[in-house]
Structures are given as C-alpha cells and as structure tokens.
Amino acid sequence: MTVPLSPRLAAALTAAPADRVVYDLPGIQAQYDRLVAELPGVQVRFALKACPVDEVLRLLAARGAGFDAASPAEIAQALATGADADRVHYGNTVKSDADIAEAHRLGITAFATDSVQDVAAIAEHAPGARVFCRLATSGEGALWGLNRKFGCSADDAVRVLAAARAAGLTPAGLSVHVGSQQMTGEAWQQAVDLLADVLTRLDRLGIAPDHVNLGGGLPALGYLDRHGNPLDPPLDKILTLLREGVDHLRALTGRPLGFVMEPGRHLVADHGAVRAHVYRLTRRRQPDGEDAHWLYLSCGKFNGLYEMDQVIHRLVFPTHPAPNGPDDPAYLPAVVAGPTCDSDDAYGGGTHPVRVPRALASGDPVWVLSAGAYAASYTTQGFNGIRPLPQMCVTGPDPLRDERH
Ligand SMILES: *Cc1c(COP(=O)(O)O)cnc(C)c1O
C-alpha cells in the first residue's frame, strides 16, 4: 500500500520557498486517534524523542496522551505541554544519580530500570518511586533491534523487582521494546509470552505488578524497500496480536492490569515531510569501472534524514512530470546522497539506486516523504556548515478531503 500524501502537506511543501521539515498536525492527531481506538484500554505515551516539536507534543497532550521521556530535559518539555506528571514516565534505563534526583524534583514517580545498581540509585534519589523492569528482547524483525543495550533476562527481572521491593520502591511493572520499525507480529507475540512467564514467576514471590508497558516499535507505513516498493508492515495483524496479548495477560494475572504503549515513529513518521532541493545530478566512473549517476540533495543524514542509510523514503520531484511507468525513459537510476563529506550520508548506504528525472537541475525542489520521525531530534548543529532544517507545522482543513465529504 502506498501512503497517500495529504493535500495539506503537499500544499505546504509546494508553498515552501526554501528547505524545511513540515509536520501535518491533523494527520498526527488522526493517527493518534486511530491507535487509541484500535487498542482500547491501553494508555498511549508518546516517545517524544521521535518528534520533540512543541506543537506536536501539545496536540498529543490535549488528546490525552502521556509521554515516555528519556532525560530531565525531555521530562521538562513533556510537562510544559500541560500533561500531568503521572502521565509522564522516565523510560530510559540509562541515567545518572543527578538525573534521577532532578526527575524526582519534577514530580516524576515512574522509572524504567534493568539493573539492581539502577534500582539502588532510584531508591536513594527518588524514594518511594514506582519502577518497571525492562525485559530484553531479540529485536529480530525490526529495522533497529535495540537489543544488548537495554533490558535484562527473565531471571534478572525477578531479581531486580525483588530488590526494588526490598529497597522500599513499588515494583510496579514490566516493559519491553521489540525494536524500532518492527515488521513482524511474532515479535509482540514472543514478548507477550515472555511477559506471561515473568508475571507468573513474580506472582510466586508475592510481587504483583499493576501495569505492563508494551513499548514502542510500531511501524511507519510509508517507507520503501530496496526495490522501491512499499515495505508494507502487517499493522492490522500486529494490532490484533496486541489486543489478544492484553486479554491474555489480564486473564493470566486475574487482577486489573493497566497497559501502556509508548510509540514514537508510528504516530509521526508518515505525517511529516522534508522539502529539500537538488544540488546536482552527476555521472561518475569509479576506478573499478563502476559507472553510476548520483543525485546530491541539500538534505541528508546530518540535517534531518539520519536514518537514510537504513530507510528508503519516497521522493517526489514536484517540478517534473511523474514517471510514466517503471521504464519511463525520462527517468534514470541514481544513487541518492546528502550534501556532506561523509560517505554514510546516502540512501540505503549508497548501494540502492532509485529512479529520478534525467532533467533535474540544481535548485529543483525535492520532497522526501514519511520523514516525520526522528528528523528534528537526529540533526547536527552544523556538520560541514550545514544548518538544521527549520520546522513548520501545518494545520487546518484538508482541502480535498473536505470536498469529498
Ligand atoms: C525510542 C523509544 C521508543 C519509541 O520507539 P519507536 O520505535 O519510535 O516507536 C519507545 N520506548 C523507548 C523506551 C524508547 O527508547
């Protein structure tokens, strides 16, 4: 399925006289409302690192979302939206004593953890806090596995929550994160099995967590595969498995168990786009005889498209006719790369050419679609002198959609 470009976003991209990243606020709102409707009884806490843009955060807070924050600065940004502190949790297992104390001062009462050392620090600097222990997952099936750095084994999770209880903390929950842009339903199924196992073991020790955090990882729908086709993650299957998982874990414990999910990418990726421009379309022959066209853009890994080596975004060339089929001779295959002197600054690692208009000229606008996740947060302050992209939010009615209704 190709994700349609909203006319509201298209209008803003067309009107943009220079590069920027544009967020479609009603699109993000609709995406949030859809997810909440799909997962009844699950509280959504937006992982704000995916889009730390105040307008986006205020919109989500007003719809009832909470936030997954990873540092005191993110906590402060989340609270500034008006969200109550009990809707914001400290979801990072990596934090210093000073970070914990600052979060406690800001009123945060729920902390992620995965080690007894971190539990001891929470007990000292945020006495009485609720802790939830992150279980490690394999990360299989995800574009970014997030394994190794985070989470602990089932055995250790039992030890960590027992240590929390002994230290006067509330062993409040368990969490998982199955990896970012997780493409399989099986990953959540396995996570539910793991959660069921650990909840059963905790029960034997008289430890009864009152909530489960199913993490982030829900996919964006608009990315392309290496052949330029939509990735097509099985979102409906994933949501069905999540609903079944919630029911299963509630039945297993036989007590009211609250559920939290902390999506990042899924809420924003397909509702943001970058307006960039062409530097140059070139043709270069390598010493080994490889002969390729390269399209250099004004925007790349260090100014908004940090994930471009893993993710292939759909490109639109608004001042050229759209390709007339896959073999249109007005288009040719080119490796697409960003503007810096870094060789990682290229689509798909620089090995997967995409079809671009032959007639592209320096300065022509290019739209990079499904670029709303991680664009604002993963940007350098000026690597090679290239400034971060200005941000812009669009709102208001969607002209075409309103006509149809
Ligand atoms: C980054 C992160 C998320 C969001 O991940 P997505 O893949 O963008 O949904 C959720 N929870 C935690 C703890 C994270 O670090």
Distance 1 CA to ligand 1 centre (A): 24
H/E stretch holding 266 reads helix 265-268
pLDDT, tens only, 166-210: 999 999 999 999 999 999 999 999 999 999 999 999 999 999 999
Ligand 1: atom nearest CA of 50 is 8
Q: Which of 45, 49, 137, 177 is the pocket-test mutation for ligand 1 (most atoms within 8 Å of CB)?
A: 177
Ligand 1: atom nearest CA of 134 is 13
Ligand 1: atom nearest CA of 263 is 9
Distance 261 CA to ligand 1 centre (A): 10
Q: State residue 398's pLDDT score.
A: 60
Asked if pLDDT for residue 350 goes beyond 90, the answer is no
pLDDT, tens only, 43-81: 999 999 999 999 999 999 999 999 999 999 999 999 999
User: pLDDT higher for 294 or 349?
Assistant: 294
Q: Is 63 helix (H, G, I), strand (E, B) or coil?
A: coil
Q: State residue 326's pLDDT score.
A: 87
Asked if pLDDT for residue 404 goes beyond 50, the answer is no
Q: Do domains 91-263 and 270-404 have the same CATH topology?
A: no
Segments making up each domain of the chain, as ranges? 91-263, 270-404
Q: State residue 15's pLDDT score.
A: 96
Q: State residue 347's pLDDT score.
A: 86
* pTM of the shown model: 0.95
Question: What torsion do the CA atoms of 257, 32, 237, 354 make, to the nearest 10 degrees?
Answer: -140
Q: State residue 309's pLDDT score.
A: 85
Residues whose beta carbon lies within 6 Å of some atom of ligand 1: 47, 49-50, 68, 91, 177, 180, 215-218, 262-266
Integer Cα distance of 153 and 351 in angstroms: 37
Average pLDDT over the chain, rounded to whole? 95
Distance 309 CA to ligand 1 centre (A): 19
Distance 29 CA to ligand 1 centre (A): 19
Distance 371 CA to ligand 1 centre (A): 16
User: What distance lies between CA 336 and its chain's CA centroid?
Assistant: 23
pLDDT, tens only, 139-152: 999 998 877 899 99
Burial class for 381, CB neighbours closer than 10 Å (0-12, 13-18, 19+): exposed
Burial class for 71, CB neighbours closer than 10 Å (0-12, 13-18, 19+): middle
Distance 366 CA to ligand 1 centre (A): 29
* CATH dotted code for 270-404: 2.40.37.10
- Annotation: CATH topology of 91-263: TIM Barrel (3.20.20)
Which of 401, 397, 404 lies closest to 26 in space, CA to CA?
397
